[in-house]
Amino acid sequence: MTQPDLPAGKGGAVAPPDPWDPLIRITHWGVALAIVANGLINKGGSVAHVWIGWGVMALFLTRLGWGIIGPAEARFSAFPPAPRAALRHIGELLRGRPREHRSHNPAGALMIYALWACLGTVIVTGLVMTGGKSPVTIAEEKAAVAAGDWSVLVQADAEDHAGTADTAERLSKEVHDVAANLMLILALIHVGGVAVESRALRRNLVRPMVTGRRNRGVDPRA
pLDDT by residue for the chain (222 residues), tens only, comes to 444 444 433 333 444 556 689 999 999 999 999 999 998 888 877 889 999 999 999 999 999 999 999 998 899 999 999 999 999 999 988 887 878 777 889 999 999 999 999 999 999 999 998 888 888 888 877 777 666 655 555 555 555 555 556 777 889 999 999 999 999 999 999 999 999 888 888 888 888 888 877 655 444 333
Pairwise CA distance, residues 61 & 72, whole Å: 18
Backbone angles phi, psi at 26, to 5 degrees: -65, -45
Contact 152, 145 (CB under 8 A): yes
What letter represents residue 42's amino acid?
A: N
- Across 65-210, the runs of DSSP E, i.e. the strands, are none
What structural domains does the chain harbor? 20-211 (1.20.950)
